[in-house]
Structure 1
Amino acid sequence: MARQLTSLNFNSFFAGIGGFDLAFENQGFKPSFQCEINTFCQSVLQERWPDVPLHGDISSLSSSDIPEATIWCGGFPCQDLSVARGSKGRDGLRGSNSGLFYPFFDLIASHKPEALIIENVAGLLSSHNGQDFRIILEKLTSIGYAVAWRVVNSRFFGAPQSRPRVFICAFRGNPIKAFSTLFEEEIGQKPKGLRQAFLDVSECQKSGAKVAQIAYCLAATSGRHTGTDWSRTYVSYPDAVRRLTPSECEGIQGFPKDWTSINSKSGSDSDTDRYHALGNAVSVPVVEWIAKRLKQEIMDSKKPVSSESLIENLLKSHGQVVQKFREQDYLNLVLDPNGDEQKLKWMSGGIAFEGKCLDFKATEFPRDIIPSKLIDVIEKSNVDQKYFISANAAEGILRRVKSQNRSLFGPLNEALVTMAKGREAA
């Protein structure tokens, strides 16, 4: 039986461990439906929202199975879009994972909720020479949505990691509401010393643990050391080094402690499940910031504007944000004069509606930055020895870093050298 529609109901797709759901709930929204295929993530969702209907594979989901809700949210898989794939190449929306956008869109077209919030890696803007993002804009606007987007970084919203992600807000027929959800009317002051935050040392006086001010972006990995040690976050002691614990990763993403600490139905190692799920999750504080603004727009009585008057209205309401913008007809940017796929370079913020599109260089931070430090989520004591790396692993990290002419966080390098020398002496 479908739940009664209220203005603050939402349906969550590609729900993962409930980052969207937790953030929206914190802002007074009520979940009506969840869709998530991963078994471990399903266990987390059922633990946290036992009364919310949960479906598995979106490809087998029928439109009639979905209750009505004002808001739909979710982040379709990023594996085929991420620039982290490197030399493996990116399949984009043609891939089996990120291509799940298409069944998601079909369901959207069937229900046409009032608003959508969609998240993905910033690589979405450049995938297939920008054509994948053009497809998303074209499809959503073709069914009456005004689509705003913005790349934001978690480090400025209360989550202590550098995690740039593109967020899309689509409002049915109302570009001003879509734009106002993601953009404030004023731009904040650009923060200073962004690189220095990876170098400055914070120390726990109780344990002696040392970390940088912020973490590198959490990845959906097992949490063990890899060949990219210089862009991974470790916790350093005078003569020991360990990886982050799952609970610390929860804190970095803005989840409550032990949010993912449940028995996995998949039968695999719980830590591995937790690391993967947290690396794939959205940063809760970022979504909560967006949800708060979205709530205001839903309750507001802003009248829709036509595409012809869109720029004029945005210059009035958000003139500081859109001072320098490009206007383009994105529907006609498929092929270049030679018949080859047109190369599109989407900027980090923009709005598309009824065939009109403008984009501009958007800031990654809100007007009022929400400070956070990695040291605040680091375990103070009683860390299990399984999270500490061996002297052999320390030597391996130093060897890989040297061979690729990289450098490490100061206290980390010192601790690794101490461990390696201790092994040689033994």
Structure 2
Amino acid sequence: MIAKKTIKSEKISSASFFTGIGGFDLGFERAGIESAFQCEIDEFCGSVLDWHWPNLKRFNDIRDVDSSSIPETQIWSGGFPCQDVSVARGWLGREGLKGQNSGLFYPFANLIRERLPKVVVMENVTGLLNSHNGQDFAILLHTLEKLGYGVAWRTLNTRYFGAPQSRPRVFICAWANSTSSAYHVLFEGGQSYLPEKPRLGFLRESRCDVTGARVPEIAFCLAATSGRHTGTDWSRSYVSYESEVRRLTPRECERIQGFPTNWTLPNEDYPLEGVDLDSRRYKATGNAVSVPVVQWIGERIVKELRQSSPDLFEFSLFDGIDRFGSHTPELSGKRAQKVSLPSISGHDDAPKIKWGNGGVVEKGVCLMGATTQYPLKPVSSRLIDVLDKFRPDDRYFLTSNAAEGILRRVNSQGRELFAPLATALSRLQSSA
């Protein structure tokens, strides 16, 4: 048997780009990977990073980074800005990779080309899969493949990794000269099943005996705007009481993302406090990558780098890219789809591409399908367990006008709210 080249005793380290508040760094460190470099342009996020990694080499603008200044590491990570590809932009339109934010993928790709790290991990919103009729994702995959990487991608949802929030995100793993290794990082092989329908987590009630707070088991996806009071936003998670309703606090949002409590407090020199500080903390946490998912990926990267066992696919009965379907049913038979990257990437007249939730890229061919968003052994968690066990400041509670606005929007759209929330909003509205 031919064993894979491994690094059994060598220290494993990572460089993070678009670092934010350090979600990749923290998740990787929990997996035994040392942080060696960071790049983050936002001043507030930089202050948070200064607090947790005071001695780490850090750049601000990725466009100013000289590749020779990046320490030698096996792993690079980056969640390049999602504003231009996020479905949350809705009617405002999406510029995709041509936008000034997500277009920062290109300087990141140039740095990859100049240094060629062994492993690259990226994260983005699921809107990346259909941005510009699927062309943006095709360009991303083709770029990595032309640089000599085997590539795998998979949509993973935070709620199945031990954090009580429904947050589907696309994770991309590129591994130098090895599609098999990229696959092993994101796919376990075999068939996984959920014990119940995902929707039940939004309907089933949990209650805190100490505070009387009532919430569903699972929160909606945190957004960068989670700190705003609004009478139109019903599609977020609120904490309900008998006749009061509040938004989640920054501390609670941190825990929902898998960060320790008060992770987003900046260093002592940062000049904000109160509501202004809350706003920055909400935004930074809402834009962050979920730590438990990164830890799961990091552990699999470490295992792949260190193991000396033969490649799982070395003696597969299937040739070429079809071998991946022998271990992931969604990538086999009629459930799978193949496309040629060179024929679709960067062509103005290319047809619309409907990318699957997951897949692999090898020798210019993509194999993809409707892969699951959860690991073989999903980890459950409850929103009630991350809530503060005391009454927060009054500024986190909704006004009667906000309650009226939410109910009006819900009724006009024919939506159905979590039952305790609907009751509390009605009582709050009536109290005016």
* Structures share fold, TM-score greater than 0.5: yes
Which residue pairs with 2:369 in the alignment?
Answer: 360
Task: Quote the offset at 1:420 in angstroms.
Answer: 1.5
Task: Quote the offset at 1:313 in angstroms.
Answer: 3.8
Q: Distance in 2 between matches of 1:83 and 1:266?
A: 33
Give CA-to-partner distance per residue, 1:44-89, whole Å, 9 cap, x none.
1111011110110101111122111100011000000011111111
- Out of 10, 14, 23, the position equivalent to 2:18 is 14
Which residue pairs with 1:286 in the alignment?
Answer: 293
Matches within 5 A, 1:196-235: 196-226=200-230, 228-235=232-239
Matched to 1:327, the amino acid is K
Matched to 2:320, the amino acid is L
Work out whether residues 331 and 367 of structure 2, in 8 Å CA contact, stay in contact via their aligned partners in 1. Answer: no
Give CA-to-partner distance per residue, 1:114-154, whole Å, 9 cap, x none.
00110000111100000000001111000100010000111
- Out of 90, 108, 113, the position equivalent to 1:86 is 90
- Out of 333, 342, 348, the position equivalent to 2:344 is 333
Give CA-to-partner distance per residue, 1:7-48, whole Å, 9 cap, x none.
511001000000100010011111110000001100111110
- Out of 284, 296, 306, the position equivalent to 2:303 is 296
Matched residue of 1:415: which SS? Answer: helix
Which residue pairs with 1:343 in the alignment?
Answer: 352
Gaps of 5+ in 1: none
Q: Distance in 1 between matches of 2:16 and 2:395?
A: 35
Task: Quote the offset at 1:327 in angstroms.
Answer: 2.1
Work out whether residues 186 and 321 of structure 1, in 8 Å CA contact, stay in contact via their aligned partners in 2. Answer: no
Work out whether residues 202 and 211 of structure 1, in 8 Å CA contact, stay in contact via their aligned partners in 2. Answer: yes
Tell whether 2:283 aligns with 1:276.
Answer: yes
Which residue pairs with 2:65 in the alignment?
Answer: 61
- Out of 29, 32, 37, the position equivalent to 1:33 is 37
Which residue pairs with 2:117 in the alignment?
Answer: 113
Which residue pairs with 1:389 in the alignment?
Answer: 398
Give CA-to-partner distance per residue, 1:335-370, whole Å, 9 cap, x none.
88xx73321111111111221221111001110010
Matches within 5 A, 1:50-199: 50-199=54-203
Work out whether residues 160 and 380 of structure 2, in 8 Å CA contact, stay in contact via their aligned partners in 1. Answer: yes
Q: Distance in 2 between matches of 1:134 and 1:140?
A: 10
Which residue pairs with 1:265 in the alignment?
Answer: 270
Matched to 1:381, the amino acid is F
Work out whether residues 257 and 285 of structure 2, in 8 Å CA contact, stay in contact via their aligned partners in 1. Answer: yes
Q: TM-score, normalised by structure 2?
A: 0.92
Q: Distance in 2 between matches of 1:264 and 1:362?
A: 46
Q: Distance in 2 between matches of 1:66 and 1:242?
A: 44
Task: Quote the offset at 1:416 in angstroms.
Answer: 1.1
Q: Distance in 2 between matches of 1:328 and 1:340?
A: 16
Tell whether 2:317 aligns with 1:310.
Answer: no
Q: TM-score, normalised by structure 1?
A: 0.93
Work out whether residues 82 and 90 of structure 1, in 8 Å CA contact, stay in contact via their aligned partners in 2. Answer: yes
Identity of aligned residues (%): 51
Pair 1:11–1:67, CA change in 2 (3 A)? same
Task: Quote the offset at 1:406 in angstroms.
Answer: 2.2
Work out whether residues 231 and 403 of structure 2, in 8 Å CA contact, stay in contact via their aligned partners in 1. Answer: no
Work out whether residues 243 and 388 of structure 1, in 8 Å CA contact, stay in contact via their aligned partners in 2. Answer: yes
Q: Distance in 2 between matches of 1:149 and 1:7?
A: 26
Work out whether residues 67 and 114 of structure 2, in 8 Å CA contact, stay in contact via their aligned partners in 1. Answer: yes
Matched residue of 1:127: which SS? Answer: coil
Task: Quote the offset at 1:412 in angstroms.
Answer: 1.0
Work out whether residues 19 and 38 of structure 2, in 8 Å CA contact, stay in contact via their aligned partners in 1. Answer: yes
Q: Cα RMSD between the aligned structures?
A: 2.0
Q: Distance in 2 between matches of 1:279 and 1:264?
A: 23
Task: Quote the offset at 1:227 in angstroms.
Answer: 5.4
Gaps of 5+ in 2: 1-8
Matched to 2:14, the amino acid is F
Matched to 1:326, the amino acid is Q
Task: Quote the offset at 1:382 in angstroms.
Answer: 3.4
Matched to 2:423, the amino acid is E
Matches within 5 A, 1:377-416: 377-416=386-425
Matched to 1:363, the amino acid is T
Work out whether residues 231 and 404 of structure 2, in 8 Å CA contact, stay in contact via their aligned partners in 1. Answer: no
Which residue pairs with 2:3 in the alignment?
Answer: none
Matched residue of 2:164: which SS? Answer: coil
Matched to 1:329, the amino acid is S
Give CA-to-partner distance per residue, 1:225-283, whole Å, 9 cap, x none.
33553211100000111100000001110101111123573647110010000000011
Q: Distance in 2 between matches of 1:123 and 1:86?
A: 10
- Out of 343, 355, 380, the position equivalent to 1:371 is 380
